[in-house]
Structure 1
Amino acid sequence: MIVSGREEVFPNAGEEALRQLRLQYRLTAATADAYFEAGFNVVLQDVILGPMLQEMAELIRNRPLYVIVLTPNQEEIAKREASRPKKGYGLWSIGELDRQLRDETPKMGMWLDSSSLSPEETAEEIWQRVWTEARI
């Protein structure tokens, strides 16, 4: 939502970009909490890498909280990305995102390799495992 003065988040981003990203996450968490407190089930979807995943989980006050991390392999991501009209990676390479996910992101919640799964199969796998593996 920042137009003037927006700093893009990219590998080795500066402090201003990270400040803006943390603001986005604080507002997202507050919105999720408001909907939850109004009686709604809330699903947040984003790419949250590195220690920011733990930060985001701590920003969300209401519980239960379930974290699901989809981890398709790089080849599958490239294949899916090639078939999309919209490109979602911007300044990031698939390899750098994958490295940060696997090497720097805390292993919390349920991690699911969805490389060989259709969207429907992914949803079913999440539904079967979420209650025992994703709660933090």
Structure 2
Amino acid sequence: MSQPRLILITGAMAAGKSTVAQAVAEALPKSVHLRGDVFRRMIVNGAAVMGPVLDDEAQAQLRLRHDLACDAARRYHAAGFSVVYQDILIGRHLTDVVARLADLDPRIVVLCPDAATLARRDRERSKTGYGEGFPPDILADALVRETPRIGLWIDSSQMTVGEVVARILAG
């Protein structure tokens, strides 16, 4: 039996993280698709607004979300599951999560389609995250400007899900 893997997939909203992570998890023999945003959605009352500027409460809730996801990833991995953990991890948030899970040798994947592709994908899905006060180029620019060049960076603007998955699994 092969060793369980840990694959972290990040990118801006509408970068394809959920779709790609699900497809990667389905390609692995014993696997979990860990969606970091599920921990935010569990909050019934008192959820902070997650937008281009995060106040102290939003920062605290984001840290909690990452803590819970790292704990879950670690527990699934210890139980023999390969974990495909996807979330919006930009800048120090990515480096903090990677440091916290370093002993599990995570494979980092950054999906970075261009802002026009993010806008088109956001319009085409049922849940939308962007709007007038929060256009896709804000997150796309933050990703490029603030995130260290660690792991595999994929501009998936012109790629199919299958092509992205093959590239991830090839490494």
TM above 0.5, one fold? yes
Structure with greater strand share of residues: 2
TM-score by length of 2: 0.70
Q: Secondary structure at the match of 2:107?
A: coil
Give the structure-1-normalised TM-score: 0.86
Unaligned runs of 5+ in 2: 1-41
Q: Out of 104, 116, 126, which is 2:158 matched to? A: 116
- Residues paired across the two proteins, number: 129
What is the distance in 1 between the residues matched to 2:127 and 2:45? 24
1:58-77 aligned at under 5 Å gives the runs 58-60=99-101, 62-77=103-118
Structure-to-structure mapping, 1:1-136, within 5 angstroms: 1-60=42-101, 62-89=103-130, 92-128=134-170, 130=171
> Contact conserved, 1:69 with 1:112, CA < 8 A, in 2?
yes
Task: Tell me if structure 2 keeps the 8 A contact 1:30–1:60.
Answer: no
29-38 vs 2-11, greater mean Cα deviation: 2-11
In 2: Cα distance, 1:122 partner to 1:46 partner: 17
Q: State the Cα distance separating 1:85 from its structure 2 match.
A: 2.3
RCO (CA 8 Å, sep 6+): is it higher in 1 or 2? 2
Q: Extract structure 1 runs of 4+ deviating beyond 3 A.
A: 88-92
